[in-house]
Amino acid sequence: MDKEKLISKLNWFYSLELNQVDLYKSQSKAFADEYAGLVFEKLTEIEQLHVDNIFTKISELGATPTKIGDVISPIIGSIAGKIIGMRELHDVLKINIMIEQKAMKDYKELINNVKYSQYGSNDLIRLLTQNFIDENLHTEWFKTKLSEIQTLEFSIKP
């Protein structure tokens, strides 16, 4: 992996993390009266830390962090247009899982790609791994909450 390719991939993550800050911020407002709203608020802060650490990394490589626009829509495909109007928590969780899993998949791929390149410093690998772990934890909470909702959906009150 050459420097140019690494910077372009980091810019993709920079954009993804920025998109996720916006996404979780709007979800924290939409679900303000639920525990999930508090979780989305906390996730907004964590994604902002990812934005900041990727920003720093791109700058250290001598490049200017550049937002490449909406990177979420291609991940969620045909659902993209409906995301704004989504009011059901279970729909929101499903979308969030898709996005977090894409982030994990790409962090993992980048870690493997830079590991043996000249830019694969311990510092960079540690940063990418820590972001990956955060996304993994987010995914697990979403899955737990989704499963709780589905359990309630498929049960009846005697």
CB 157, min distance to Fe ion, A: 35
CB 28, min distance to Fe ion, A: 14
47 binding Fe ion? (CB under 5 A) = yes
* CB nearer to Fe ion: pick between 2 and 140: 140
| Residue of 15, 50, 75, 95 interacting with Fe ion (CB under 5 A) | 50
Name the residue among 145, 17, 18 with its Cα closest to residue 88.
145
Whether residue 127 contacts residue 135, with contact meaning beta carbons closer than 8 Å, is answered with no
Residues numbered 3-32 forming contacts with Fe ion, rule: CB under 5 A: 17
CB 54, min distance to Fe ion, A: 9
Binding segment for Fe ion (CB under 5 A), chosen from 7-15, 29-37, 41-49, 53-61, is 41-49
Residues numbered 79-138 forming contacts with Fe ion, rule: CB under 5 A: 135, 138
Binding segment for Fe ion (CB under 5 A), chosen from 27-35, 40-48, 61-69, 90-98, is 40-48
CB 40, min distance to Fe ion, A: 11
Name the residue among 89, 88, 111 with its Cα closest to residue 1.
111
Q: CA–CA distance from 57 to each of 52, 99, 146 (Å)? A: 9, 22, 34
SS3 69: coil
* CB nearer to Fe ion: pick between 103 and 114: 103
Burial class of residue 43 in the structure, from the number of CB atoms within 10 Å of its CB (0-12 exposed, 13-18 middle, 19+ buried): buried
Give the count of residues interacting with Fe ion (CB under 5 A). Answer: 5
Instruction: Provide the terminal-to-terminal Cα distance of the chain, rounded to the nearest Å.
Output: 61
C-alpha 94: how far from chain center: 13
- The residues that touch Fe ion, with contacts defined as CB under 5 A, are 17, 47, 50, 135, 138
